[in-house]
Amino acid sequence: MRYILMIPGPVEISDDVLEAFQRHPVAHYGPEWTEVYLETANSVSRILGSKGRTFLMPGSGSVGLDTAAATFCASKRCLVLNGGMFGQRLYNIVSAHASDVKDLNFPLNTSVEPEAVEKALKDEKYDIVLMTQVETSTGILNPVEKIAKIVKKHGALFVLDSISSAVIEKLEMDNWGIDVNVAASQKGFECPAGLGIVTVKQDLLDALKDSPAKTWYTDLRVWCDYYDRWHDWHPFPVTLPTNTILALAKSIETIEAEGISSRQKMFIDISTRMRKALLALGLRLYAPEGQYSHGLTAASTGGKFDPAEMIAFLKKKVGIQISGSFGDIKSHVFRIGHMSRKQCGRVNLITLINGIALFMKSKGLSVQLEKAVERLME
Ligand SMILES: Cc1ncc(COP(=O)(O)O)c(C=O)c1O
C-alpha cells in the first residue's frame, strides 16, 4: 500500500507534520484548543492574502465547495466557468443548491478566457461567478486575477476553488477581489486529507446575519453563530479533526518561515524542470505554453502507449504512484504531482523520470534518459 505519492494530492508530507498528526487526540473545545484553532485559521487567511475569516471544516475540499454554494448561491443567478472535470464538479455542486445556474464551457486544453467571461457578463446579469484556479484533471492554470477583475467590474461575487493550487500558485484574495476561496488540507498545505478550508471576506459574513440558515452543517450562518456566541470555547458547531488541524498548524509554521513567495518560486522552478525532462523523453505537454499549473504536470503519450500500463509499471517496479486523467483524454494523458516540498525532492523526481524512461524502453521506444535527467537537474 505504501508508494511514494507523486499524484496531484494527497501529497507526501514532511516528518514534522506527520509527527504532529500522529499525537494523542486532544479535546476540540476549551480555551487552549480554541486558541490553536483561531490562530491556525487566521494564518490561512494571511497566507491567502485575506483580512477575512477562515473556517476549518471536517471533510474534504468538496465540503468547502458545498458550503460556499449552500451559503451564498441559493436563490442567486450563478455562472460557473467550466474548463474540465472539476469545473463540472463545481457546476454540479452549485446546481444542488441553486436553481438558476449556467455554465460557460471551455475546451479541455485551454484555460478560461477573459474575453468570453466579459461577454457572458455583458450579455446577462449574474450575482455570483465561480471558477477553479487549477483544473486538476488537465493541469491548466486559469488567469484568476484577470477574471476576478472582470467579475468585480460587473458587480458579482467571485468564488474560487483553489483546492489544488492554494499555497502553490500566486493568490491574493483581497487585492484581486476574491470574495470566497475554498481550499483543502491535502495538497499545497502539505497535510493529510480531512479539512475543507473556506475563507470569506468579512463584510459578506456580516451580511449573512440578515437571512436564516437554509441547511445546517454546510451553512456558514450556523458556523458564524457559533463563532459569535461560543467564541472563547467552541467557535465552530461540530467536533473537529484536531490531529489534522495540529498538522496544518505545523505545516503553516514551515510555510510562513520559508515565505510564501519563495515557496511559489520553488514550484515554478520544479515544474519547469519537470516539463523539460518529459519533453526530453519524447512526451508531449498537455497544457498549452503559458497555461501550465506549477503543482502538477499533465503529459500526453501521443498515443505511443497506454498511460494506465505505465502507471501500473511505476507502482510495481519503482514504488511510485502517479495519476491518469479522466474522460476523453484518459487514453493518452497522465499526471504527475509536485505539490509538496517532499514530492519536489530530487531523489523522487529523478527516480520517477528513470522509471518512465525504463517503461518507455520496455515498449521499444527510444528515449534520451541522460538528457532528461540533465534537464531535471540543471
Ligand atoms: C480543483 C479541485 N476541486 C475539487 C476537488 C475535490 O476535492 P476533494 O476530493 O478534497 O473533495 C479537487 C480534488 O482533487 C480538485 O482538484
Residue-wise pLDDT for 257-293, tens only, equals: 999 999 999 999 999 999 999 999 999 999 999 999 9
pLDDT digit string (tens) for 91-138?
A: 999 999 999 999 999 999 999 999 999 999 999 999 999 999 999 999
Question: Ligand 1 centroid vs 209 CA: distance in angstroms?
Answer: 29
- Same domain? 87 vs 166: yes
What is the 125 CA–ligand 1 centroid distance (Å)? 28
Query: Do residues 158 and 179 make contact, with C-beta atoms less than 8 angstroms apart?
Result: yes
Name the domain boundary from 257, 288, 311.
257
How many percent of the chain have pLDDT more than 70? Answer: 100
Q: What pLDDT was estimated at residue 167?
A: 98
Dist. CA 163 → ligand 1 center (Å)? 6
CA distance 337 to 170: 18
Which atom from ligand 1 is nearest to the alpha carbon of 62?
A: 11
Q: Is the dihedral of CA 337, 339, 340, 344 positive or negative?
A: positive
pLDDT for the residue 378: 86
Between the CA of 307 and the centroid of ligand 1 the distance, in Å, is 22
Pocket test for ligand 1, best of 86, 91, 185, 325 (most atoms within 8 A of CB): 86
pLDDT score at 92: 98
Domain's final residue, options 232, 257, 282 = 257
Q: 301 lies in a domain?
A: yes
Please indicate, yes or no, whether residues 264 and 234 belong to a single structural domain of this protein.
no
The amino acid at 27: A
Q: How confident is the model at residue 1 (pLDDT cuts 50, 70, 90)?
A: confident
Residue of the nearest CA to atom 7 in ligand 1? 61
Residue position matching grid coordinates 488540507: 185
Residue nearest to atom 12 of ligand 1 (CA): 163
Residue to mutate (ligand 1; options 5, 67, 136; most atoms within 8 A of CB) = 136
Rounded mean pLDDT, 330-347: 96
Average pLDDT over residues 335-362: 97
Angstrom distance (rounded) from CA 315 to CA 210: 53
Asked, for residue 298, whether it belongs to a domain, the answer is: yes
Distance 24 CA to ligand 1 centre (A): 28
pLDDT of residue 207: 94
Nearest residue to 66 via CA among 144, 180, 179, 165: 180
Mark whether 240 and 305 lie in a shared domain: no
Nearest CA to ligand 1 atom 8: 61
User: Is 95 inside any structural domain?
Assistant: yes
pLDDT at 210: 83
Residues having CB within 6 Å of any atom of ligand 1:
9, 60-62, 86, 89, 132, 136, 161, 163-164, 184
Whether residues 185 and 159 share a domain: the answer is yes
Which residue, among 25, 28, 26, has the nearest Cα to 239 in the 3D structure?
28
Is the pLDDT at 335 greater than 90, yes or no? yes
Ligand 1: atom nearest CA of 132 is 1
Task: Identify the CATH number of the domain in which residue 23 sits.
Answer: 3.40.640.10
Q: Does 103 reside within a domain?
A: yes
**Predicted pLDDT of residue 257:** 97
Instruction: Compute, in angstroms, the gap from residue 310 CA to the centroid of ligand 1.
Output: 24
Per DSSP, the residues of 202-262 read HHHHHHHTTS--SSSTT-HHHHHHHHHHTTTT--SSS---HHHHHHHHHHHHHHHHH-HHH
Q: Report the separation in Å between the CA atom of 291 and the middle of ligand 1, taken as the mean of its atom positions.
A: 19
* Residue 197 in grid coordinates: 478550508
| 70 in a structural domain | yes
pLDDT per residue over 62-100, tens digit each? 999 999 999 999 999 999 999 999 999 999 999 999 999
Q: C-alpha angle with apex 323: 318 to 325, nearest 5 degrees?
A: 150
Q: How many domains does the chain have?
A: 2
Residue 115: inside a domain: yes
Domain housing 40: 15-257
> CATH number for the domain including 303?
3.90.1150.10
